[in-house]
Structure 1
Amino acid sequence: MSGGNPATPGRRRVPAPGGEVSGGNLAARQAQLVAALVAGGPLPPGFAAAPVEAARRALLRKRAGDVARHWPLLAAGVGDAWPATFAGWAAGRPTNGSLRDGWDLARELRDRGTLPPLGAEELAAREAATRYDGRTAPRPRRLPAVARAGGAVAAQLAGRVRLLRPAPR
């Protein structure tokens, strides 16, 4: 095993940019690269800007597709502008998972007054069925609930959600 460490067989030590071998430095550089790719962090030294930017855009498109699978009415309501709308919102945010990312985006669009009617109906139904505070994982509601979003009203009773009033079109 050339380059291996006898204390940890099978693991190779990788030289850092200055030539020294340091596992902690590699981990820090990997964390910087991940932050640049998914959380809007600065480009770490030693990386070419164009390939990192291309990878970042590809990851945003992938995230947009994943969120659209969890929030199909929101994505359909936004229409052809969905990839750009999602990418603009997500560009500087690390993911919280597709379900929560869609929820956070829908709430932000609602607060801005730009939530499309289909998205409003989907958000109202989700909020009637599930409790989500924006920080912790969503939890099913146990008690009856009514939720409103963008003119849509949904109610949950005994685990069933009904759209009482659709959003104005």
Structure 2
Amino acid sequence: MSDRPDLAAGQEALVAALTAGAPVPAGFDARLVGVARAALLRKRAGVVARAWPMLAAGYGPGWTTAFAEWADGRPTTGALRDGWDFARDRGVRGAAAEEELARREAAWRYDGVHEPRPRRIPTVRRTPGMVFVQVGGRTFSRRR
């Protein structure tokens, strides 16, 4: 029974090292933890790419690397929020990615801190090629 608090603390430290950039806890091989961490970042990039396909496509073959560099040391907040935060921090590439972000921002309120929530008031978001209007919970688009 007395080992359980130490075990829990060790597990917590390992999870923090794998997902949030914390130092590798004593007793673990730093190289192997680094390999596992890199694999988790690649997996996370794939999950975000499924939630934000145009954002990922805009970065092309460099998506995984760009996202992993950005995400390294940041705990995940979920694919939707991770992609949104990445897009706001690093920017989007290409018209399709701009439209994907504008559509989401027309339909949802997200302040970078709290969970995204559906917008209740009418909203307009513009990109060079599209206009998105959210009214009554539905988002409409029109080419410019």
TM-score normalised according to structure 1 size: 0.77
In the other structure, the counterpart of 1:41 is 22
Aligned partner (choices 59, 62, 71) of residue 78 of structure 1: 59
Aligned partner (choices 29, 49, 58) of residue 68 of structure 1: 49
Shift in alpha-carbon separation, 1:36–1:136, aligned structure 2, 3 A: same
Cα deviations across residues 100-159 of structure 1 (Å, max 9, x unaligned)? Answer: 10111011123xxxx212221111100000011111111111111012468864221232
Shift of 1:53: 0.7
> Does structure 1 residue 144 correspond to structure 2 residue 144?
no
The 1-side partners of 2:26 and 2:128 are apart by: 45
How many residue pairs match? The answer is 143
Letter of the structure 1 residue corresponding to residue 31 of structure 2: A
Q: CA RMSD in A?
A: 1.9
Q: Percent identity?
A: 57
The 1-side partners of 2:128 and 2:83 are apart by: 16
Aligned partner (choices 100, 103, 127) of residue 105 of structure 2: 127
More helix, by proportion = 2
Question: Which structure's relative contact order is higher, taking Cα pairs within 8 Å and 6+ residues apart?
Answer: 2
In structure 2, runs of 5+ residues without a counterpart are none
Secondary structure of the 1:26 match is helix
The 2-side partners of 1:31 and 1:148 are apart by: 44
> Does structure 1 residue 23 correspond to structure 2 residue 4?
yes
> Does structure 1 residue 156 correspond to structure 2 residue 137?
no
The 1-side partners of 2:126 and 2:66 are apart by: 23
The 1-side partners of 2:109 and 2:130 are apart by: 18
Q: Tell me if the contact between 1:154 and 1:165 (Cα under 8 Å) persists in the aligned partners.
A: no
Letter of the structure 2 residue corresponding to residue 119 of structure 1: A
The 1-side partners of 2:30 and 2:64 are apart by: 22
Secondary structure of the 2:140 match is strand
Q: Tell me if the contact between 1:32 and 1:44 (Cα under 8 Å) persists in the aligned partners.
A: yes
Cα deviations across residues 4-62 of structure 1 (Å, max 9, x unaligned)? Answer: xxxxxxxxx5xxxxxxx421111111111111100011111110011111110111111
The 2-side partners of 1:164 and 1:122 are apart by: 13
In structure 1, runs of 5+ residues without a counterpart are 1-12, 14-20
Letter of the structure 1 residue corresponding to residue 93 of structure 2: P
The 1-side partners of 2:14 and 2:127 are apart by: 38
Shift in alpha-carbon separation, 1:26–1:152, aligned structure 2, 3 A: farther
Shift of 1:165: 5.4
TM-score normalised according to structure 2 size: 0.90
